[in-house]
């Protein structure tokens, strides 16, 4: 049999599989047959086809060197398999490069570790509440975070830069950006060199969509606020309308000072931004309007811009005056309900918005709020340059919504997303056991008394005074909030109930002492001890409870629903009691997130009764202990 005279024998290289061998032999045989047919004949006539010289095997032909003929594969036809060093077999994946192999094995092993680590999450898996974030992605973000150490590294206007320490984080020393700020600020400022598919496709400036997702109490508000204020100031400097307005105002002032001219009336021309803000921040509740609005206001004193808080806590007149002030308005903080009702009557309100931030996006994009939030996004869309969604959790429902509605959204997530920090301890109290015998109210009161007693054992910072501890108690149903608060009061505890039933004005007052970072103190007195020392646990049926012997002097308690769990910055709260087991990991994260904020320590106590999911609680506790992301 005729064989080609070459060291890189075709058959040898085609040993990958049996099937491959057969195919190649067939091809080789048919090619050889043809070659034999066209070898120089005895008559000396030149052959039309012959085998290639050995040194030419595998060398590119003139055709191969250039672009291969379109639509024609190299292996097509009876000679397709000849003169090749490698078997280019269709359907068989190409060998991956060493680098690719290494990368996959690293992420694969991480993925396996991840799966192994979370295999214990049986009960949580049933809930499937949170969207997964791969550990590969988390590891990549860690590297980026490590490269940033100071706010000075961000390309900010000098006034914005200096206001971070003098206004936003006033009184703090050694200020550094938090992980979420290190990721989000450069991205929102556009100072990252990102070669994004969506950007390269369109040459015209396109709206940029971002999702900022980071653990509770990690400084997400500043992560979007700093770049937004910077953008507002840059836009103001480049705005021709504002320039013309300022010029006009200047000239009028000069004319007024010129006593030789008859004094003309000062221009009543409104500022170009009157009733048409550049940036809007949407938050779900009036409390958050106040919280975020106060931070914006603090910046406005030194950066010089105008901001307004709009919520149902303010009268219609106040809202109108703020929005349509002749001096203009740059940044508005509002709830979606109020803003959309204003936009219904005055659509121009959204006509110049370039930056729209949806804070607590997991709430504002869920079923209750979503139609309103989406309508605002749609209305603002023509002028919108940046849409920023911000959240402490990415529920699966929101994740799939984002994939559909904002497929190009850039996800800025921190390595610890969905993990409750280890510095927060979780204690579990079995309410069914002695001494509570199924009485959750009693268990709750007893825990609060115990916290109070432990706190009284330590002296406060001021002589003759003692610290007053703030405790948040979370219930699942709003009706329960009032009932639990009343019970706690009957046990000598200073407790209040906060739910949607509470008038808005009152809600803000109640939250004020829980959001203030100023330590609460009271006059030092002998502590009454534990609840058992002071109150009888069992009252025989038909007997009225005896009057409260002693009051618990060093505790302040707020019994609340989810209303108090979203976004409220309760820096000073060290203890959170979960009266009810939360419905999902999302609620666990938000409720426990009211303590242990910004690197502080915290303690959660969950009361587990007969009908509560003990398996869920056990898995959350284990996840917290391991520092793992919940699922
Ligand atoms: N770089 C920083 N250094 C120190 N403290 C900071 C820094 N950034 C923000 N803070 C403080 O951290 C606290 C929490 O910030 P913020 O309310 O923005 O958290 P969050 O991530 O939005 O929390 P949540 O998810 O609960 O809404 C605030 O009191 C804020 O002043």
| Mean pLDDT of the region 60-65 | 44
Q: Is the pLDDT of residue 246 over 50?
A: yes
Residue 379 CA to ligand 1 center (angstroms) comes to 30
How far apart are the C-alpha atoms of 122 and 273, rounded to whole Å?
Answer: 54
Residue 606: band (very low, low, confident or very high) from pLDDT cuts 50, 70, 90? very high
Is 88 inside any structural domain? Answer: no
Is 47 inside any structural domain? Answer: no
Residue 403 CA to ligand 1 center (angstroms) comes to 28
Residue 169 CA to ligand 1 center (angstroms) comes to 9
Asked if residue 597 has its Cβ within 6 Å of ligand 1, the reply is: yes
Domain check: are 325 and 377 in the same one? yes
Residue 183 CA to ligand 1 center (angstroms) comes to 15
Asked if residue 219 has its Cβ within 6 Å of ligand 1, the reply is: yes
Note the pLDDT tens digit of each residue in 451-471: 998 888 776 677 778 889 999
Number of domains in the chain: 2
Q: How far, in Å, are 8, 10, 23, 68, 83 from residue 14 at the CA level?
A: 10, 6, 9, 23, 12
Domain check: are 445 and 583 in the same one? yes
Structural domain ending residue among the three candidates 413, 435, 451: 413
Structural domain ending residue among the three candidates 364, 381, 413: 413
R_g of the chain, CA atoms, integer Å: 34
Asked if residue 598 has its Cβ within 6 Å of ligand 1, the reply is: yes
Is 554 inside any structural domain? Answer: yes
Domain check: are 209 and 298 in the same one? yes
- Residue with CA nearest ligand 1 atom 9: 219
Domain check: are 240 and 310 in the same one? yes
Give the distance from CA 217 to its chain's centroid: 11
Domain check: are 154 and 298 in the same one? yes
β-strand 465-467 against 521-523: which pairing, if any? antiparallel
Residue 536: band (very low, low, confident or very high) from pLDDT cuts 50, 70, 90? low
401: exposed, middle or buried (C-beta count within 10 Å: 0-12, 13-18, 19+)? middle
Domain check: are 468 and 357 in the same one? no
Note the pLDDT tens digit of each residue in 20-51: 444 444 554 444 444 434 444 444 444 444 44
Residue 298 CA to ligand 1 center (angstroms) comes to 15
Asked if residue 599 has its Cβ within 6 Å of ligand 1, the reply is: no
Residue 524: how many other CB atoms lie within 10 Å: 17
Domain check: are 395 and 473 in the same one? no
Is 19 inside any structural domain? Answer: no
Note the pLDDT tens digit of each residue in 283-304: 999 999 999 999 999 999 999 9
Asked if residue 567 has its Cβ within 6 Å of ligand 1, the reply is: yes
Q: How far, in Å, are 263, 440, 588, 611 from residue 620 at the CA level?
A: 73, 21, 8, 17
Domain check: are 184 and 321 in the same one? yes
Domain check: are 430 and 405 in the same one? no
Asked if residue 512 has its Cβ within 6 Å of ligand 1, the reply is: no
Is 34 inside any structural domain? Answer: no
Is 339 inside any structural domain? Answer: yes
Question: Which of 589, 578, 142 is closest to 360 using CA atoms?
Answer: 589
Q: What is the dihedral of CA 215, 217, 220, 226, to 10 degrees?
A: -150
Atom of ligand 1 nearest to the CA of 590: 26
Atom of ligand 1 nearest to the CA of 169: 31
Domain check: are 353 and 399 in the same one? yes
For a pLDDT cut of 70, what percent of the chain falls above it? Answer: 74
Q: Quick one: pLDDT at residue 524? A: 77
CATH number of residue 446's parent domain: 3.40.50.300
How far apart are the C-alpha atoms of 218 and 177, rounded to whole Å?
Answer: 10
β-strand 555-560 against 469-474: which pairing, if any? parallel
- Residue with CA nearest ligand 1 atom 22: 220
Tell me the best of 219, 362, 516, 594 to mutate to test the pocket of ligand 1, counting ligand atoms within 8 Å of each CB and taking the most.
219
Q: Is the pLDDT of residue 110 over 50?
A: no
Tell me the best of 161, 211, 221 to mutate to test the pocket of ligand 1, counting ligand atoms within 8 Å of each CB and taking the most.
221
Is 216 inside any structural domain? Answer: yes
Q: Quick one: pLDDT at residue 99? A: 59
Atom of ligand 1 nearest to the CA of 218: 21
Atom of ligand 1 nearest to the CA of 172: 4
Residue 540: how many other CB atoms lie within 10 Å: 6
Domain check: are 310 and 390 in the same one? yes
Atom of ligand 1 nearest to the CA of 571: 29
Asked if residue 178 has its Cβ within 6 Å of ligand 1, the reply is: yes
How far apart are the C-alpha atoms of 338 and 347, rounded to whole Å?
Answer: 13
The domain in which residue 595 lies consists of 424-535+547-626
Residue 487 CA to ligand 1 center (angstroms) comes to 33
Tell me the pTM.
Answer: 0.78
Note the pLDDT tens digit of each residue in 163-220: 999 999 998 989 999 999 999 999 999 866 544 444 444 455 689 999 999 999 999 9
Q: Quick one: pLDDT at residue 12? A: 43
Tell me the best of 164, 217, 515 to mutate to test the pocket of ligand 1, counting ligand atoms within 8 Å of each CB and taking the most.
217
How far apart are the C-alpha atoms of 335 and 166, rounded to whole Å?
Answer: 28
Domain check: are 442 and 493 in the same one? yes
Asked if residue 596 has its Cβ within 6 Å of ligand 1, the reply is: no
Is 61 inside any structural domain? Answer: no
Residue 340 CA to ligand 1 center (angstroms) comes to 28
Structural domain ending residue among the three candidates 345, 380, 413: 413
DSSP secondary structure string, 270-321? Answer: PPTTTT--SEEEE-SSHHHHHHHHHHHHHHHHHHT--EEEESTTS-HHHHHH
């Amino acid at each position: 049999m005729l064989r080609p005279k070459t060291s890189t024998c075709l058959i040898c290289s085609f040993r990958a599989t049996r099937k491959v061998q057969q195919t190649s032999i067939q091809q080789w045989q048919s090619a050889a047959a043809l070659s034999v047919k066209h070898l120089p004949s005895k008559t000396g006539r030149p052959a039309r086809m012959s085998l290639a010289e050995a040194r030419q095997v595998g060398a590119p032909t003139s055709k191969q060197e250039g672009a291969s003929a379109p639509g024609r594969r190299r292996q097509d036809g009876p000679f397709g398999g000849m003169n090749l060093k490698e078997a280019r077999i269709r359907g068989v994946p190409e060998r991956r490069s060493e680098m690719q192999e290494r990368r996959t094995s690293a992420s694969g092993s991480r993925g396996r570790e991840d799966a192994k680590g979370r295999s214990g999450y049986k009960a949580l898996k049933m809930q499937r509440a949170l969207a997964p974030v791969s550990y590969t992605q988390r590891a990549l973000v860690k590297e980026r975070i490590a490269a940033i150490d100071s706010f000075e590294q961000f390309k900010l206007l000098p006034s914005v830069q200096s206001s971070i320490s003098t206004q936003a984080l006033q009184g703090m020393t050694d200020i550094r950006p938090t992980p979420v700020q290190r990721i989000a600020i450069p991205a929102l400022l556009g100072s990252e060199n990102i070669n994004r598919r969506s950007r390269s496709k369109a040459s015209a400036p396109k709206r940029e969509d971002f999702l900022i997702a980071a653990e509770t109490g990690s400084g997400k508000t500043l992560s979007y606020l700093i770049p937004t204020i910077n953008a507002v100031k840059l836009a103001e400097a480049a705005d021709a309308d504002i320039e013309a307005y300022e010029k006009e105002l200047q000239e009028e002032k000069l004319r007024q000072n010129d006593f030789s001219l008859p004094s003309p009336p000062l221009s009543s021309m409104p500022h170009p931004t009157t009733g048409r803000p550049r940036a809007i921040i949407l938050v779900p509740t009036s409390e958050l309007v106040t919280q975020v609005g106060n931070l914006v206001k603090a910046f406005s004193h030194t950066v010089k811009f105008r901001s307004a808080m709009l919520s149902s806590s303010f009268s219609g007149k106040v809202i109108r005056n703020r929005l349509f002030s002749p001096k203009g308005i740059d940044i508005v903080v509002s709830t979606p309900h109020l803003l959309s009702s204003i936009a219904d009557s005055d659509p121009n309100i959204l006509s110049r918005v370039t930056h729209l931030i949806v804070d607590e996006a997991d709430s504002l994009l869920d079923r209750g709020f979503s139609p309103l939030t989406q309508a605002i996004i749609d209305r603002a869309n023509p002028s919108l340059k940046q849409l920023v969604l911000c959240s402490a959790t990415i529920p699966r429902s929101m994740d799939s919504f984002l994939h559909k509605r904002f497929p190009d959204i850039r996800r800025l997530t921190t390595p610890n997303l969905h993990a409750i920090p280890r510095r927060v301890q979780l204690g579990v109290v079995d309410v069914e056991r002695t001494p509570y015998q199924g009485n959750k109210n009693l268990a709750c009161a007893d825990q609060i008394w115990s916290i109070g007693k432990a706190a009284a054992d330590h002296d406060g910072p001021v002589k003759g005074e003692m610290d007053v501890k703030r405790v948040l108690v979370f219930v699942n149903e709003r009706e329960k909030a009032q009932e639990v608060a009343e019970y706690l009061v009957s046990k000598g505890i200073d407790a209040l109930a906060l739910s949607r039933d509470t008038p808005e004005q009152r809600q803000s007052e109640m939250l004020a002492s829980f959001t203030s970072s100023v330590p609460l103190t009271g006059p030092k007195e002998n502590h009454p001890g534990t609840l058992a020392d002071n109150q009888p646990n069992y009252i025989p049926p038909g007997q009225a409870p005896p009057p409260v012997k002693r009051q618990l002097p060093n505790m302040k308690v707020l019994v609340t629903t989810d209303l108090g769990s979203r976004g409220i910055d309760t820096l000073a709260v060290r203890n959170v009691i979960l009266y009810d087991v939360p419905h999902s990991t999302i609620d666990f994260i938000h409720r426990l997130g009211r303590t242990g904020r910004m690197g502080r320590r915290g303690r959660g106590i969950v009361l587990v009764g007969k009908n509560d999911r003990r398996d869920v609680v056990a898995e959350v506790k284990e996840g917290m202990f391991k520092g793992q992301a919940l699922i």
